[in-house]
Structure 1
Amino acid sequence: MWKCDKCGREFKNLNQNHFCDEVVNSIDAYIAEQSDDIQPLLHQVRDTLRAVLPDAQERISWRMPTYWRKHNIIHFAAFKKHIGLYPGDKAMEHFADRLTEYKTSKGAVQFPYSKPLPLELIAEIAQWCYQTNNHH
């Protein structure tokens, strides 16, 4: 067990990423909470999603940056070794053949920091979720 010196919460993993129970209420605040080397990558994902989802609202949902228009369209989040993208299970099925080099689960994909971000693919996934109403 590891205990955060700042908030006193205990975690199973050493130096686990968390928000010290502070409510992060904007994507700007979420990105600012991350390490300096991860922030540029999060800005790249955000800029990509903003470009392809201009009518969507930015918000924090499930403690993650989220793009919303009547429903959650897509989420993303920073973790210790990757950026997670959460487009939902239908998108994961639709794009499965293009995500084979990444770790995936039913509704999410992990983009490791050790590889360049596939921003065009992220844009396509977000557009597909929005256009098909397959929201997360």
Structure 2
Amino acid sequence: MTATFATVDDYIGSFPPETQAVLQEMRRTIHRVVPDAGEKISYQIPAVTIGGKVVVYFAGWKHHVSLYPVLDGDDDFERLVAPYRASKGTLKFLLSEPVPYGVIETVARHLLAQHQASA
């Protein structure tokens, strides 16, 4: 049976302390970029929202953390995210390496701009 989570805090709290610290920093990084954002659990992972609409998802796994959906961008953006692309739309950051919070911030800005353009 898959665990279900009522809140983002419940979700983050289900991980080992080292992973919790990374997820909390991802959360803070995203919230710095996405002002007045809300949060919810969607698809059993944390989602950062504006007006109830999801801007970005983030998730923890045994050996990595991920960010979704990372849509295509210009050449500079693609060069930045290429080392972390796990599949179309997914970035994967290994927990065995320093997490590039600057990349997460840039991706969050990119997703926020896309969200605002489609709103």
TM-score range, shorter chain: 0.7 to 0.9
Higher relative contact order (CA 8 A, sep 6+): 2
- Which residue type is aligned with residue 68 of structure 1? T
1:34-58 deviation line (CA, Å, top 9, x unaligned): 1122111111101111111122211
TM (normalized to structure 2)?
0.85
- Which residue type is aligned with residue 78 of structure 2? A
- The percentage of aligned residue pairs carrying the same residue is 28
2:91 to 109, 125, 129: 109
Aligned to 1:59: 40
| Deviation at residue 127 of structure 1 after TM alignment | 1.3
| Deviation at residue 69 of structure 1 after TM alignment | 1.4
1:119 to 64, 80, 101: 101
Check the 8 A contact 1:82/1:111 in 2, yes or no: yes
| Deviation at residue 115 of structure 1 after TM alignment | 1.2
| Deviation at residue 89 of structure 1 after TM alignment | 2.8
| Deviation at residue 90 of structure 1 after TM alignment | 3.2
TM (normalized to structure 1)?
0.75
Contiguous gaps of at least 5 residues in structure 1: 1-8, 10-17
Larger-Rg structure = 1
Contiguous gaps of at least 5 residues in structure 2: none
- Are residue 97 (structure 1) and residue 79 (structure 2) matched? yes
Structure having the higher strand fraction is 2
Structure having the higher helix fraction is 2
Aligned to 1:40: 21
Check the 8 A contact 1:92/1:107 in 2, yes or no: no
